[in-house]
Chains A and B, each alone.
Chain A
């Protein structure tokens, strides 16, 4: 049956007048759609829009690759501060076509909130609550968009090494979001980590001096520093291990001590474990250029960023009481990674 539908809108001085008319003749019921029919139509529309969304995601994934950052070529370095991640990242960054993103702290952005503020316990309403799939997709888009914007042209198909020792409290969230990425889990004896942190934080240490310059300096006793470092070690290494163990993509566990003892062979093993093809001579060059011996003497020392790089040095740096504090707090991890 013929029907007329029309809508007229007139606007003047910010006010709009509208008039809609619908008129017609029909046999049977006037054309009001039954609920069932409307539900079917909504369902069909929803299905089509989901198809569109899936296609958009595929296009988006391709454009991300085309933009230069392939999620498969993202390499995370997890662990905790003072495990030698700067050194490792520097060696990896030497390779042609590789780039290093130094401490974006994306892991902390999500980890502080999710684990630290209990957002993982929040219900479906919470921004990181609900399904793991939804959470991971939004975090994934966040990471890849950020990486593409910052490094897209620079890496252009190469590897992007993201050094995140201080963002490792969110490592599981990052690894879940990019399951095809590569994960390096770096550990070091917690007593050496605490000793290194203590050297930096004490009066005259590089971190204490930097804090002074920024006007954010706080005085803490050595015992407090050691205890805080040990607790941080437990939190960050535990989260890193969780990410490492559940990650299904290429991954490797690296001991700082092993890297110090035989740098070249350890680097070759890392690339092999991660299924990264890097020429032997490039690895050798990167190792040599970033060797401890190549760091100028004036940049090294007990109060400098490059301190002593001596595994077991904690025996000279920590008091027996401080060492016992670290051992007590980190006991399960110490036993797992450094059994007596």
Chain B
């Protein structure tokens, strides 16, 4: 929605200045708070460090769920670039609660004593809420009530349903990408010498790469992870009655500005188109240094459909079979 901001200062007499500030616009949802002139802290990055003590509005938490290697870092970076926004990169709070809940034995799950037992669900759901908000309070003590917190959780989507149920007023992005491209990207990252392999091998001498030694098994496991992650995220997305946006990585690559604008509209977050454009430009593929891109690097190729070059026909077929229902739904 268009927003006009202008400020004029002129001298009307010796030593006396007149000033006129005008701010006007049309928005769906919330009216943006009165903005500070350029350079003031309220809209600068410094506000994230020097802002007010914690008063996080749960409605301004934006969760990004999906699966790893689907462009969530890119999306988070663009969204965190917007005014009054900061990010929380992979707290894995979804894993903390989601895996424990999912891994409970039948007897435990049916017990009212068990901390996440179903008979006491109404009792413990607020505990998750308090825990998340308390964690934000201690980690981001200066986040203000007007600030947005972008929480990137692609690798913890197993807990997406619990988190969205605990914080129903928060907003959710479901980010999907063609599973064949996700697997191709993950395979590259898992190979010996690649960025992810090296990171995970720190302090583990002699660690071998499954992607190198048993590529078929690596493909199978990653495809199953995709099915699990996206399946959980999709369940949460469908159940979430609040503000939400479904984003396909391919749309974001093809039309980043338009897609991001649609995300903000779907999430009902007021925005300035110039800010959005600047965020998109700052984090565009072209702005990444050439030496940081390529095989074995975190920024690999960002080419939808690149799996045709990266996977063998057998590998592609395996991914298609394992992820069939999701592939049909999101990539018919």
A interface residues with partner B (beta carbon < 8 Å):
7, 9, 14-33, 35, 38-39, 42-43, 45-46, 48-50, 52-53, 101-106, 108-110, 112-113, 117, 119, 122, 124-128, 130-131, 133-134, 137-138, 141-142, 145-146, 149-150, 210, 214-216
Q: Tell me whether B95 is interfacial, beta carbon within 8 Å.
A: yes
Interface string of B11-49 (1 = CB under 8 A from A): 010011111111111111101001001011110000000
Q: Tell me whether B93 is interfacial, beta carbon within 8 Å.
A: yes
Contacts of A110 on B, CB cut-off 8 Å?
96
How far, in whole Å, are A45 and B31 apart by their CA atoms in the complex?
A: 24
On whether A150 and B123 interact (CB within 8 A), knowing A125-B90, A215-B106, the answer reads yes
Contacts of A145 on B, CB cut-off 8 Å?
126-127, 130
Contacts of B51 on A, CB cut-off 8 Å?
42
Residue on A nearest B18 in the bound complex, by CB: A25
Residue on A nearest B13 in the bound complex, by CB: A25
How far, in whole Å, are A46 and B52 apart by their CA atoms in the complex?
A: 5
The 26 listed contacts between A and B (C-beta, < 8 Å) are A17-B26, A19-B22, A19-B23, A22-B20, A22-B21, A23-B18, A23-B19, A23-B21, A25-B16, A26-B16, A26-B17, A27-B16, A31-B19, A33-B40, A39-B50, A49-B52, A103-B113, A105-B108, A105-B114, A109-B96, A109-B100, A112-B100, A117-B95, A127-B96, A138-B135, A141-B131
Q: Tell me whether B285 is interfacial, beta carbon within 8 Å.
A: no
How far, in whole Å, are A119 and B52 apart by their CA atoms in the complex?
A: 29
Residue on A nearest B23 in the bound complex, by CB: A20
Binding site of A, secondary structure by majority: helix, strand, loop or mixed?
mixed
Contacts of B100 on A, CB cut-off 8 Å?
108-109, 112-113
Contacts of A16 on B, CB cut-off 8 Å?
26-29, 31
Residue on A nearest B22 in the bound complex, by CB: A21
Interface string of B90-107 (1 = CB under 8 A from A): 111101110110000111
How far, in whole Å, are A53 and B123 apart by their CA atoms in the complex?
A: 25
* Distance in Å: Cβ of B152 to nearest Cβ of chain A: 9
Let me know if B107 and A146 touch, CB within 8 A: no
Binding site of B, secondary structure by majority: helix, strand, loop or mixed?
mixed
Let me know if A24 and B19 touch, CB within 8 A: yes
Our pick among A22, A25, A38, A126 for the contact of B41 (Cβ within 8 Å) is A38
Residue on B nearest A11 in the bound complex, by CB: B31
Contacts of B254 on A, CB cut-off 8 Å?
none
Let me know if A27 and B24 touch, CB within 8 A: no
Our pick among B17, B27, B137 for the contact of A15 (Cβ within 8 Å) is B27
* Distance in Å: Cβ of B258 to nearest Cβ of chain A: 20
How far, in whole Å, are A46 and B97 apart by their CA atoms in the complex?
A: 31
Let me know if A113 and B95 touch, CB within 8 A: yes
How far, in whole Å, are A15 and B265 apart by their CA atoms in the complex?
A: 12
Let me know if B114 and A104 touch, CB within 8 A: yes
* Distance in Å: Cβ of B4 to nearest Cβ of chain A: 9
Let me know if A53 and B53 touch, CB within 8 A: yes
Our pick among A43, A142, A214 for the contact of B131 (Cβ within 8 Å) is A142
Residue on A nearest B270 in the bound complex, by CB: A16
B interface residues with partner A (beta carbon < 8 Å):
9, 12, 15-29, 31, 34, 37, 39-42, 50-55, 88-93, 95-97, 99-100, 105-108, 111, 113-116, 120, 123-124, 126-127, 130-131, 134-135, 137-139, 141-142
Let me know if A23 and B37 touch, CB within 8 A: no
Contacts of B31 on A, CB cut-off 8 Å?
9, 16, 18
Residue on B nearest A131 in the bound complex, by CB: B138
Residue on A nearest B38 in the bound complex, by CB: A32
Residue on B nearest A146 in the bound complex, by CB: B127
Let me know if B24 and A20 touch, CB within 8 A: yes
Contacts of A46 on B, CB cut-off 8 Å?
52-53, 141-142
Contacts of A42 on B, CB cut-off 8 Å?
41, 50-52, 142
On whether A138 and B131 interact (CB within 8 A), knowing A16-B28, A108-B100, A122-B92, the answer reads yes
On whether A113 and B19 interact (CB within 8 A), knowing A53-B54, A138-B131, A150-B120, the answer reads no
How far, in whole Å, are A104 and B119 apart by their CA atoms in the complex?
A: 13
* Distance in Å: Cβ of A228 to nearest Cβ of chain B: 15
Our pick among B19, B55, B89, B126 for the contact of A26 (Cβ within 8 Å) is B19
Interchain residue pairs A-B with the least CB separation, the first 8: A49-B53, A134-B138, A22-B21, A30-B19, A20-B23, A127-B93, A127-B91, A214-B106
* Distance in Å: Cβ of B250 to nearest Cβ of chain A: 28
Contacts of A28 on B, CB cut-off 8 Å?
15, 17
Contacts of A215 on B, CB cut-off 8 Å?
106
Contacts of A52 on B, CB cut-off 8 Å?
53
* Distance in Å: Cβ of A62 to nearest Cβ of chain B: 18
Specify which of B16, B20, B21, B39 lies most central, judged by the most chain A CB atoms within 10 Å of its CB: B21
Known: A24-B18, A106-B115, A141-B131. 4 other contacts (CB 8 A): A42-B52, A53-B54, A146-B115, A214-B107
Let me know if A126 and B135 touch, CB within 8 A: no
Our pick among A43, A53, A104 for the contact of B115 (Cβ within 8 Å) is A104
On whether A15 and B28 interact (CB within 8 A), knowing A26-B17, A214-B106, the answer reads yes
Let me know if A125 and B88 touch, CB within 8 A: yes
Residue on B nearest A101 in the bound complex, by CB: B113
Our pick among B40, B91, B134 for the contact of A137 (Cβ within 8 Å) is B134
Our pick among A18, A22, A29, A146 for the contact of B17 (Cβ within 8 Å) is A29
* Distance in Å: Cβ of A225 to nearest Cβ of chain B: 17
* Distance in Å: Cβ of B115 to nearest Cβ of chain A: 4
How far, in whole Å, are A199 and B308 apart by their CA atoms in the complex?
A: 55
How far, in whole Å, are A112 and B115 apart by their CA atoms in the complex?
A: 14
* Distance in Å: Cβ of B92 to nearest Cβ of chain A: 6
Residue on B nearest A14 in the bound complex, by CB: B28
How far, in whole Å, are A333 and B296 apart by their CA atoms in the complex?
A: 45
Our pick among A20, A45, A49, A122 for the contact of B21 (Cβ within 8 Å) is A20
How far, in whole Å, are A50 and B54 apart by their CA atoms in the complex?
A: 9
How far, in whole Å, are A24 and B18 apart by their CA atoms in the complex?
A: 6
Contacts of A9 on B, CB cut-off 8 Å?
31
Contacts of A29 on B, CB cut-off 8 Å?
17
